[in-house]
């Protein structure tokens, strides 16, 4: 069953339709998602891969992908131009023109170049490829957005029958990219995640910097990092509702916040959750996904020049549809 927030994002996406590349076009889940997206018309889709294989697989499963554009890298009229542009972009890193041509046989690299050149607005991958194989070309080719110091990721969490967060909606960050961020990096993640929460929900972000300590209840280097990150984030974004260091219960439950964190700026009403490292973030979102039966969209990238987003290799077609809607909304705000 589709969540309300995804329904809302689709409606917003329809107001300024963007073109999203799906480079894993021979995967059945991608084709199922394409069928739905084309019917609902909230995004235009470009499928990258072998046209014959894609069409045959769609027909075999009675899927209508006729409204999607299908591009085969080696047969594309843009192949040579993309190769030359990629070479120019990366030659100082040792890339040759031959290297560039070889890389562009890879559907993800080709799709990223489509986004780079303005022939598409965003890309979603990861149903087959690892996070590294999806994000490496994006970081190499697209790089960070102006004014952004760090690319990070978040997961949009929609927890059923939940009174916490924004009626069960949370942003968890960073759950997929930065392994052990410094205090400075953690402060950047917090500010960017707050922007992401506001973009997707149109609600005020309330940010919790998580730790195993609340307001000095424990001492360690890891706690010190979160304390410093909180201080830096408050200095950079003084109007942002943000607090830390906080244990998770003190972050989301008002009655516990009153006891453990009296005077907290967010008063136990956090909707944007910042984890101290990737271990905590990855474990945390998967616990909520499995035990609370949350819908999870992401990891979604934030801070990149143009939107490129990752999927879990265990994703369903519904997940792909949701991430495409999120990517379209991000593209509207570039």
Residues 6+ apart with CB under 8 A from 170: 156, 157, 159, 271, 272, 273
pLDDT at res. 52: 96
pLDDT, residue 69, reads 97
Nearest to residue 25, comparing CAs of 74, 60, 68?
A: 68
Distance between CA 189 and CA 280 in Å, rounded?
15
**C-alpha span between 333 and 103 (Å, rounded):** 29
Q: What is the pLDDT of residues 267-297, one digit of tens each?
A: 999 999 999 999 999 999 999 999 999 999 9
Long-range contacts of 316-319 (CB under 8 A, 24+ apart): 316/29, 317/29, 317/30, 317/32, 317/33, 317/36, 318/2, 318/33
Residue in 243, 266, 240, 242 with CA at minimum distance from that of residue 253: 266
Separation CA 296–CA 310 (nearest Å)? 12
- Could you give the angle at the alpha carbon of 96 between the alpha carbons of 122 and 23, nearest 5°? 25
| Burial class, 236, CB count within 10 angstroms (exposed 0-12 / middle 13-18 / buried 19+) | middle
Q: How far is CA 209 from CA 238, 256, 272, 284, in A?
A: 15, 16, 9, 14
**What is the SS3 assignment for 261?**
coil
Distance, CA of 65 to CA of 29 (rounded, Å):
13
Q: pTM of the entire structure?
A: 0.92
Q: Which residues of the chain have pLDDT under 50?
A: none
Classify residue 75 by its DSSP letter: G
- CA-CA distance, 115 to 52, in Å (whole number)? 24
Residue-level pLDDT at 145: 85
How far is 296 from 319, CA to CA, in rounded Å?
8
Extended strands (E) in 66-188: 69-71, 122-125, 152-158, 169-173
Gap between the Cα atoms of 33 and 28, Å rounded: 9
Residue 43 near residue 17 (C-beta atoms within 8 A): yes
Q: How far is CA 238 from CA 159, 170, 231, 232, in A?
A: 29, 22, 10, 10
| pLDDT for 112 | 96
Compute the distance between CA of residue 21 and CA of residue 68 in angstroms, rounded to an integer: 10
pLDDT score recorded for residue 313: 84
Q: What is the structure's pLDDT at 131? A: 80
Q: For the chain, how big is the Rg over CA atoms in Å?
A: 21
Instruction: Calculate the CA 267 to chain-centre distance.
Output: 27
**pLDDT reported for residue 102:** 95
């Amino acid at each position: 069953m589709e969540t309300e927030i995804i329904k809302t994002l689709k409606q917003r996406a329809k107001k300024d339709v963007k073109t999203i590349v799906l480079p894993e076009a021979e995967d059945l889940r991608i084709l199922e998602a394409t069928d739905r997206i084309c019917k609902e018309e909230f995004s235009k889709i470009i499928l990258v891969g072998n046209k014959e294989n894609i069409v045959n697989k769609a027909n075999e499963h009675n899927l209508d992908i006729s409204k999607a554009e299908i591009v085969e890298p080696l047969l594309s009229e843009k192949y040579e131009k993309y190769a030359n542009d990629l070479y120019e972009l990366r030659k100082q890193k040792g890339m040759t023109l031959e290297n560039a041509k070889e890389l562009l046989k890879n559907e993800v690299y080709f799709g990223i170049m489509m986004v780079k050149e303005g022939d598409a607005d965003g890309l979603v991958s990861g149903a087959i490829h690892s996070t590294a194989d999806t994000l490496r070309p994006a970081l190499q080719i697209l790089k960070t957005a102006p004014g952004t110091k760090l690319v990070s990721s978040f997961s949009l969490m929609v927890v059923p029958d939940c009174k916490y967060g924004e009626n069960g909606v949370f942003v968890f960050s960073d759950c997929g990219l930065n392994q052990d961020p410094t205090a400075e990096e953690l402060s950047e993640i917090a500010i960017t995640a707050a922007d992401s929460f506001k973009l997707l929900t149109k609600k005020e972000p309330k940010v919790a910097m998580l730790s195993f300590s609340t307001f000095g209840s424990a001492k360690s280097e890891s706690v010190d990092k979160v304390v410093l990150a909180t201080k830096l984030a408050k200095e950079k974004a003084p109007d942002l509702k943000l607090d830390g260091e906080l244990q998770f219960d003190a972050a989301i439950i008002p009655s516990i916040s009153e006891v453990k964190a009296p005077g907290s700026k967010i008063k136990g009403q956090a909707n944007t959750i910042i984890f101290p490292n990737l271990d905590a973030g990855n474990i945390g979102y998967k616990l909520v996904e499995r035990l609370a039966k949350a819908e999870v969209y992401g990891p979604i990238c934030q801070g990149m020049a143009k939107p490129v987003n990752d999927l879990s290799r265990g994703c369903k077609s519904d997940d792909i549809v949701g991430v495409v809607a999120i990517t379209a909304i991000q593209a509207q705000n570039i």
